Structure 1
Amino acid sequence: MHDTDPAHEELVSAAHNAPDGVVTRLLHSDDPRTARLGRAILAIRNSPDPSPVRPDDGARIDNPITHDPAW
């Protein structure tokens, strides 16, 4: 999943908005997959929030030879 994918943005938003009690229950679960989900939410919360890269921000792919953005 790419960082500019709308699903990625939704997942990060959900991780930041998850109630602390839910995350705590996930972390202390006996199910390894559930505990892993809790750790993933914490990792998202603790990671720096990079600004999204948009094509209009100069991040478009240009032809490397002619520098043509329509490539």
Structure 2
Amino acid sequence: MDETDPAVTELVSCARNVRAELVTHLLHSDDPRVARLGRAIQEIQRTSSGSPPMKPSDAGCVIDPITHDPAW
């Protein structure tokens, strides 16, 4: 995904607002891809707590939680 794509901003914004119970559920999944998604969401929440919303130009730091592709 292009870092200026509004979808990137929307995905990061949604990840910030995911309830802790859902993240915990994802982290404890038997499916490694689901657990990796939980870790990615947890990392977004950890690094963005108290920070202003991301600008599309900041989206380059978002990495695909499944393939770890920085261009996601």
TM-score of the superposed pair, with normalisation by structure 2: 0.63
Report the alpha carbon displacement of residue 51 of structure 1 after superposing the two structures with TM: 4.6
Q: How many residues align?
A: 54
Identity of aligned residues (%): 56
Q: Which runs of 5+ in 2 are unaligned?
A: 58-72
Gaps of 5+ in 1: 55-71
Greater helix fraction, Structure 1 or Structure 2:
2
Deviation per residue, 1:10-66 (Å, 9 max, x gap): 101110111110000000001000000000001111224575267xxxxxxxxxxxx
Higher RCO (CA-CA < 8 Å; seq separation 6+): 2
Question: What is the TM-score normalised by the length of structure 1?
Answer: 0.64
